[in-house]
Structure 1
């Protein structure tokens, strides 16, 4: 079972170190933390000085605990890890919406569990639906749900490129997140 620490270590490995690519709309980052996020979390120094521990703390607070992905990980470590990684890259609300949309599409027209409001909140109803889905579909269902989440993520990456040509510079790298 993937622990929250292991999930964060994977995110840190994906995000890498300091980057200041002028093509990146997110601007200057270190360990994947944007300057805006760093400042919002009290960091006042130069971005190159962000430590791995600072980044880890931001990830746990903002991308694991705040959206409730730790509770999802308690139900399914692999789904939790996917949501954290997607949340870091696209925002936790988008990651939760992907899960809600996927679960709605997999609920056999509401016969297996009720449709979810796609509100980007991974609350109790979303966790209950995930639990019901996994109880019915088991390990193969979990695998297919992960594939669907990755498909949604890939479609979002392509849409970002279609909406901003400069993002095409990042598409190949972004796809590595879902190819792993």
Structure 2
């Protein structure tokens, strides 16, 4: 099964919501899961609370899907990488994937990383990747505040994994 960007976006919207400006969130003002910094870096100049869903979709496509090069992976891995990039940043998402497949976590996807991915079964890569995400979350100082939602996000992604693999 090949997962399209449209499907990836819809899944992400299941994790992300409307306008939020939580005082403990280092991302500050957020809508559709997009922080104000990411919105501004991608050309959105309006008030955050009024960003349209289709505007958010294009930011997601450009700032995460394309920049994280999600299409270079099997689409099941591409989805997980996209979701992690949205939630952790692209560099952290890549390092999480690298730790999952047992290579140096330098934040750069090259032949070693791609080779290590291909040496493991798809199921192993996906489960190990999500396990690394949980470890990453648990180390964050904001885990007490946001940890329940983050662990639900990973649980949901593990359910997608079950349907995304043959």
Q: Is the 8 A contact 1:30 1:50 kept in 2?
A: yes
| Greater C-alpha radius of gyration | 1
Q: Report how far residue 13 of structure 1 moved.
A: 2.0
Instruction: Check conservation: 2:19, 2:49, Cα contact below 8 A.
Output: yes
2:130 to 146, 150, 174: 150
Superimposed CA distance per residue, residues 126-174 of structure 1 (whole angstroms, 9 cap, x where no aligned partner): 334323x25xxxxxx21122111111111111100xxx3x541110001
Secondary structure, counterpart of 1:84 in structure 2: helix
Structure 2 unaligned spans of 5+: 157-166
| Aligned-residue offset at 1:124 | 4.5
> Shift in Å at residue 125 of structure 1?
4.2
TM-score of the two chains, using structure 2 as the length reference: 0.85
Distance 1:69 1:125 in 2: 17
Moved over 6 A (4+): none
**Map of 1:78 onto structure 2:** 76
Asked whether the equivalents of residues 100 and 118 of structure 1 are also in contact (C-alpha less than 8 Å), the reply is: yes
Q: For this pair of structures, how many residues does the alignment match?
A: 155
Query: CA-atom RMSD, angstroms?
Result: 1.6
Tell whether 2:6 aligns with 1:5: yes
| 1-structure distance, mates of 2:46, 2:70 | 29
Is 2:153 the partner of 1:177? yes
TM-score scaled by length of structure 1: 0.79
In structure 1, the residue matched to 2:159 is: none
